[in-house]
Structure 1
Amino acid sequence: MEGKEEDVRLGANKFSERQPIGTAAQGGGDDKDYKEPPPAPLFEPGELKSWSFYRAGIAEFIATFLFLYITVLTVMGVSKSPSKCATVGIQGIAWSFGGMIFALVYCTAGISGGHINPAVTFGLFLARKLSLTRAIFYIVMQCLGAICGAGVVKGFQQGLYMGNGGGANAVASGYTKGDGLGAEIIGTFVLVYTVFSATDAKRNARDSHVPILAPLPIGFAVFLVHLATIPITGTGINPARSLGAAIIYNREHAWNDHWIFWVGPFVGAALAAVYHQVIIRAIPFKSRS
């Protein structure tokens, strides 16, 4: 009995009541059970000679192609239905976007990181997770993939595609451009913040199951943002997705507010990067030596 009381006392005093905050909470360099990857250089010439660099770009192209193909085709199926109850409706569209992100991030994370979105690439670049060269290459390949994906959907039935808006993003009637911009900023913030949290080095070390489940919260975040903002902007939060649909649809309606679907996601991604890196993790932005 006496031994048990001693164990209780040890357990009660094992952890100090005063917990460290801010940068002190990150611990010293030697007592961490994880290793923070060093910041990527701004330009890495060796990447351009590596097959893995181009393989990653191809993976981003194919993933964004499949993403636009499935999601825009789903939007077209809902648009042609005489009744929203006769098809998957807005919830089905949201599941289509979220589900495809879940599947595609799972498939490509080990090759390219599974960005499938210029805003995600931009946020990770600001956090020094990849070089400027790779970021530009990814964004170009994502945009090309999105254009091809939307083009295939149009090829299936041009009349249906052109008659139902082509899946292009625009600010809905009754909302201002400011409303649309705000919705895109906040929606992208939710997505990119989730990406940072799901791929956090500290969390991966603490919970061994997180790397396997990382695509799940990312896809779920996309699903939830679509539920909230489809009635406002059709939900962009992905400049490549918006550009691909706008180019293939190519009507004035698709280009009037197109700037919102670049400015909003990039601002939201930047805010998420700063919030996670500086506020949540308090990670210093040191250059690689």
Structure 2
Amino acid sequence: MEGKDEDVRVGANRYRERQPIGTAAQAEEDGKDYKEPPSAPFLFEPGELSSWSFYRACIAEFVATFLFLYITVLTVMGVAKSSSKCNTVGVQGIAWSFGGMIFALVYCTAGISGGHINPAVTFGMFLARKLSLTRAVFYIIFQCLGAICGALVVKGFQPHQYERLGGAANSVSRSYSIGGGLGAEIVGTFVLVYTVFSATDAKRNARDSHVPILAPLPIGFAVFLVHLATIPVTGTGINPARSLGAALVYNKDQAWDDHWIFWVGPFIGAALAALYHQIVIRAIPFKSK
């Protein structure tokens, strides 16, 4: 135990907070033990549109969202198709399908595009200056296109089943109010985006380097838990591309009635998570005149 206490003492001294909280925080001391990625240009980064790595990242987001919709829509349809819950994976299986796919796809694409696979995550990262507006817009477009194509492929394979089973389109449950559905989307997306920030934080990774945590794991697990909680409320959106792809391909009134909730809720939740992480958790200083 003595050796363990010594490790804790050394770690606490090595990674002590070097700046005060809030508006008093102006700058960090030199010689910190981690590298903070530079902030991205707010609007446009010269050279992005002429770089192959930029388009490769967009393609990675497209393919990842395509695969995400393909697997998860089929899972939801499989549960809806059965008359007995004992013959399917059930709600827990749907939650595992969404969470497991996010885990796998973030792991595959994190080194290429950051593994967003979700316009809400992209929006949160944009607010935190992790990527430029140009990249954020392109990511969101390719994510939505990938989601639409994923749902289209499922419908192409099983057109009659797709129409009969609802196409995994999101809608607010009749037993819940519009406000309840919006709140569920806001809080659910907050949990997801806050987890993304925490799992990819440079300072956190340096301080906890002795704990081997794979970033996609907590992100996928967050998606799983949010689905367990909110599937009965809205079918769980927390991803505008996923909601748009299913709604557009299914294209029935019930899929469009409350569709705005699955954009407004996730974007509000992502913005709150970005503000909370950047200002409260990381105590990013405000620039004074």
Instruction: Give the residue type in structure 2 aligned to 1:62.
Output: V
Letter in 2 for 1:36: E
CA distance in 1, matches of 2:26, 2:197: 16
> Residues 66-93 of structure 1: CA distance to partner in whole angstroms, max 9, x if unpaired?
0000000000000000111111000000
Moved more, 270-279 or 38-47: 38-47
Q: Could you say which residue in structure 1 is the equivalent of 2:264?
A: 263
Gaps of 5+ in 2: none
- TM-score, reference length from structure 1: 0.90
Which piece of structure 1 moves more, 40-49 or 245-254?
40-49
The number of aligned residues is 275
Give the Å deviation of 1:206. Answer: 2.4
Tell me the distance in 1 between the aligned counterparts of 2:92 and 2:86: 11
1:108-257 alignment to 2 at 5 Å?
108-208=109-209, 213-257=214-258
Q: Which runs of 5+ in 1 are unaligned?
A: none
- Equivalent residue number for residue 39 of structure 2: 39
Taking the aligned partners of 2:122 and 2:17, their CA distance within structure 1 comes to 35
Q: Does 1:22 align with 2:26?
A: no
Q: Is the 8 A contact 1:39 1:285 kept in 2?
A: no
Q: In structure 1, give the amino acid aligned to 2:180.
A: D
Matches of 1:141 and 1:186 in 2, distance apart?
25
Taking only aligned residues, the RMSD between alpha carbons, in angstroms, comes to: 2.4
- Aligned residues of 2:170 and 2:243 also touching (Cα < 8 A): yes
Q: Is the CA contact 1:78–1:84 (under 8 Å) kept in the aligned structure 2?
A: yes
State the Cα distance separating 1:50 from its structure 2 match. 0.2
Distance 1:280 1:212, change over 3 A: closer
CA distance in structure 1 between the aligned counterparts of 2:276 and 2:218, rounded to whole angstroms: 18
Paired AA for residue 28 in structure 2: G
Deviation at 1:22, TM superposition (A): 2.1
Alpha-carbon distance in 1 for matches of 2:41, 2:239: 25
The alpha-carbon deviation at position 27 of structure 1 amounts to 8.1
Aligned residue for 1:54? 55
How high is the sequence identity, in percent, across the aligned residues?
A: 80
Q: Provide the rounded CA distance (Å) in 2 between the counterparts of 1:72 and 1:172.
A: 18
**Structure 1 residue 32 displacement after superposition:** 1.4
Contact 1:124 1:273 in 2 (8 A): yes
Assess if the C-alpha contact under 8 Å between 1:146 and 1:240 holds in 2.
yes
CA gap of 1:192–1:209, structure 2 versus 1, over 3 A, is farther
Q: State the 1:19 CA deviation.
A: 7.9
SS at match of 1:124: helix
Cα distance between partner residues in 1 of 2:154 and 2:245: 11
Letter in 1 for 2:100: G
Instruction: Tell me the equivalent position of 2:76.
Output: 75
User: Normalization by structure 2: what TM-score?
Assistant: 0.90
Take 2:151 and 2:210, find their aligned partners in 1: how far apart are those partners?
35
Is 1:170–1:257's contact at 8 Å kept on the other side of the alignment? yes
| Equivalent-residue separation in structure 2 for 1:209 and 1:160 (angstroms) | 50
Q: For residues 211 and 256 of structure 1, what CA distance do their matches in structure 2 show?
A: 45
Comparing 31-40 and 174-183, the one that deviates more? 31-40
Q: CA deviation at 1:208?
A: 3.4
Select between 97-106 and 35-44 the one with higher mean Cα deviation: 35-44
Between structure 1 and structure 2, the one with the greater Rg is 1
In 2, distance between residues paired with 1:32 and 1:247?
49
3-state SS of paired residue (2:72): helix
* Alpha-carbon contact 1:199-1:211 (below 8 Å) kept: no
